[in-house]
Structures are given as C-alpha cells and as structure tokens.
Amino acid sequence: MRRVVVTGLGLVTPLGRDVDDVWHRLLAGERGVTAPQRLGGHVPPSRAVGEVTGELWEAVTKGETDPRTAFARAAADDALTMAGIQHGAHDRAGVILGAGPGANSITDIDRFLDEDGRFDAVAFARNLDTLDPESLIRNAAERPAAEIARAYGIAGPVHAVTTACSASNQAIGMAYRSIRRGETDWVVTGGSDSQINPLGLVFFVLLGAYANVDHEDPASAGRPFDRRRSGLVMGEGAGIAVLESEEHARARGATILAEVCGYGSSLDAFRTTAPPPDGRGAAEAMAAALGDGDVGPGQVDFVNAHGTGTKRNDPAEIRAVRTVFGDHADEIAVSSSKGAMGHLLSAAAGVAFACCVKAVQEGAIPPTANLTEPDRMCDVDLVPDPNRRKPVRAAINNSFAFGGQNACVVVRRYEEQGA
C-alpha cells in the first residue's frame, strides 16, 4: 500500500481562481454570493447565486459552451502546473472527476411537442445543433474528464462520477485508492459543476431547499448552522487536485503539499432529499475514512463540514460529528465555506478538499460566513468570524448528497517517514 500525497491544486470559484488568493479571501470572511448576472432576459428563480462572472468567466470559458468543462480545464491546468506535470504520454496516470450530470432545457423539449403533447424524437435528433449548448445531449457528464485526459495525453483510467454533492469526494477517494494499490502513479481528480441557469435553479426552489433571499443583501442568504438559516444557495466552479504516490512525487522532485490518508463512503438508505435525523450515514462515512487511514479521532483538528444551511442537514451533520468524535468534538473546529461561495454541487467537495490541504499547511481555519446566531442544536465550535489560527494535524472533508450518498476524505500534514 503506497502513501498518497497532494502535489497540485487548482480552483475556479465565485471568489476567484488563484488558490492562495481564494484561501486568503475565505480566511478574511469575504463572500462571493451575489444577485445573478449571467441569465440575460430570464427572470431568475432565485436572487442569490455563487456565480463565476466578469473577467474570470471570460478567462476560463474562452468560447467553450459547457461551463463544467471550461471550469475543469482551467482548474486542471493550474493544478498540473503547480505539480510540475506537462503535456506528454502518461500511461500510468488517470483522470477521475466528479461532474454535474447536466439536463436538457425545457424549451428544447417543448418545441418538439406536437398538438397532442407527443415528443418528436426524430425532429429532436435532426436539430441537435440548435439545442442549448449546455444541454446533456450536447455535453455529457464525462466530457470534462475526457477533455483533460486528451489535452495532457493521460491514457490510464478516466472516470466521471455523478453522485451529486458527494461526487468530488468519491472521485478523490477512487483516485486515492487507485494510487495506493499501484494501479496509477498520479491522478487528476476533484470535480466541476454549473447549474446557474433557470432550469438548474428552479429545481432546488421547487424542492423547497433554496434559501430565502434578502434582495438588498444576497450575500447573506447562505447561513450554515445559523438559527435563521433557510436553505442552500447555488454556486458553480471547480476544485481539482493532483494526487500522486509519494515515491513517484519524490523521485521527480515535486513539492508535496499534504497527504491523503483515508476515505470512507456510505448510503443513508433513508430519504432522497433528507438525511436521517441522527446522521448515522454521515457518521458511518466519517468513521470509515478515519479507520481506512488509521487516524484516531483525537488526531483530527478540523472538520470541513458539508454545512449546506438547510434545516435538516446541519443538525444531522453535527450529531454525526459528536457520534464519531465523542468528547473530542468539543476541541475540533467545524466550518463550512458554502455561506461564502454557495453550494458548488458536484464541485463542492473538490474546492473544500483544497481548503483542507491549505488548513494543514498553514494552521488556519476559515470562518463560517453569515453565522451570527448559532443553532443550539449545532453545539460545536463553528468558527464564527474571524478565522481560527491553530495547528491542524489532520482534517476531514465531509460531503453528503441528495440521494443519501455520503463520502469523506482525510487529509493530514505530510511528514517523511522516519523524520
């Protein structure tokens, strides 16, 4: 079993692209949630989003019609540059990415219905080039991973993981296991997603999961763990990492940022859009990740929470934390970045993973944005503003998705064996 390390990170987020800049903006308590700016003439279903806009949008899309692919390519370029890996023939490398599954626009479907409401599939197929460029039929979920592999000559395993909000963590876990078993030397992993469009937004509004928005201050809409939280805020972006075997990284003189040392996954087997109140599925995934890495609960100093700001998720997650960590839960810092950037869906855990790496590197934990009145049911250190400075020996990255998919990854400070 080989040790697995992190040698590169890349981000595209509502707070920017440069990893250190995004990290320091998070530490400073800045927020990237705004009113929608990219929907044109459409009346947005919500007035608060974590959107990639302006110069950053232009810099990363460069004419690409699928934001998921554009974000993933840009973040992967930065991660591979940081890792010191160039284009070439990489037979023992892979790409394993979480990605949003996409959807076909309602307007694309509607115009191919006859007077009786029957869908004309033949006419639809003949007019694919006229469909919305972000539609599933034109941009399948595996495209971000495949495009990165083609661009860099990566000829090993290439996978797309579409398990909603846990997709990035499951992708990172798969990459970690592939390297640990010796199947690959390094893997580009993480996730990318974008549903900042009328169909994507209205889905969560109709579910009753979207936050109530103060039109004067959309940045305050996402309130993880706060007594007044009302739901999630949609975000978009990408979080990409290069994972590598320690042996391979040291042989080529790469800078090692942190070590990945545990992965656990579970299924709630409860409800599609709500966790069990006792958080048992989340607890099982966290405990499995710690056990996989032989990391004791007392060694963890930071829980990077899923923390969506929904009424049911937040207390269930804290119950799970208390179940797993016992009395040590009172010593752990728990924070969520979703108040600052929104919920990046399939990309969320990829961005949060980068935050875990930075936390163990720098001994700093970002605050939970918009946390002014902590819910009494969320009775742990939730890091209200300002940020927390403390040594972080190990951090656990939580992701708990609709459908009941749970995935957790443990990151710890890298130390050479025998050092």
Q: Enumerate residues 6+ apart whose C-beta is below 8 A from 407.
A: 163, 166, 169, 170, 173, 263, 264, 265, 285, 349, 399, 401
pLDDT at residue 296 in the model? 97
Tens of pLDDT along 192-210?
A: 999 888 878 888 888 889 9
Question: Which residue in 90, 261, 343, 378 is the catalytic one?
Answer: 343
Residue 306 known to be catalytic: yes
413 falls in which pLDDT band (50, 70, 90)? very high
What region does 79 belong to: left with phi over 0, alpha with psi -120 to 50, or beta? alpha
Q: H helices of 298-347, where? A: 313-325, 338-341
45 falls in which pLDDT band (50, 70, 90)? confident
Structure tokens at 120: 């004309």
Indicate whether 262 pLDDT > 60: yes
56 falls in which pLDDT band (50, 70, 90)? very high
Structure tokens at 207: 């579910």
106 secondary structure, DSSP code? H
- Rounded to the nearest integer, the mean pLDDT of the chain is 94
Reported as half-sphere exposure (CB side, CA atoms, 13 A), residue 151 has a value of 18
Residue count of the chain:
419
Average pLDDT (309-331) is 97
Tens of pLDDT along 176-190?
A: 999 999 999 999 999
Indicate whether 106 pLDDT > 80: no
Q: Please identify which residue in the block is written with the tokens 């990290």.
A: 23
Question: Which CATH code fits 4-103+137-412?
Answer: 3.40.47.10
Three-class SS state of 103: coil
Pairing of strands 394-400, 364-365: unpaired
Name the least confident of 63-67, 222-226, 294-298: 63-67
pLDDT at residue 418 in the model? 63
419 falls in which pLDDT band (50, 70, 90)? low
pLDDT at residue 366 in the model? 98
Distance CA 22, CA 374 (A): 25
390 secondary structure, DSSP code? -
pLDDT at residue 288 in the model? 98
Structure tokens at 390: 């403390």
* Percent of residues, the chain, with pLDDT higher than 70: 99
Torsion of CA 289, 292, 293, 298, to 10 degrees: 60
Name the least confident of 4-13, 55-64, 106-115, 358-367: 106-115
Structure tokens at 63: 């004419």
Average pLDDT (104-124) is 86
pLDDT at residue 1 in the model? 83
Q: 20-25: which pairs have CB atoms within 8 A and are 24 or more residues apart?
A: 22/354, 23/354, 23/355, 23/358, 23/362, 23/366
Q: Which of 98, 130, 124 is nearest to 112 (CA)?
A: 124
167-180 vs 348-362: helix axis angle to the nearest 10? Answer: 60
Give pTM, 2 decimals: 0.94
Question: Which residue in 24, 90, 165, 378 is the catalytic one?
Answer: 165
Question: Which residue in 248, 306, 378, 408 is the catalytic one?
Answer: 306
Residue 165 known to be catalytic: yes
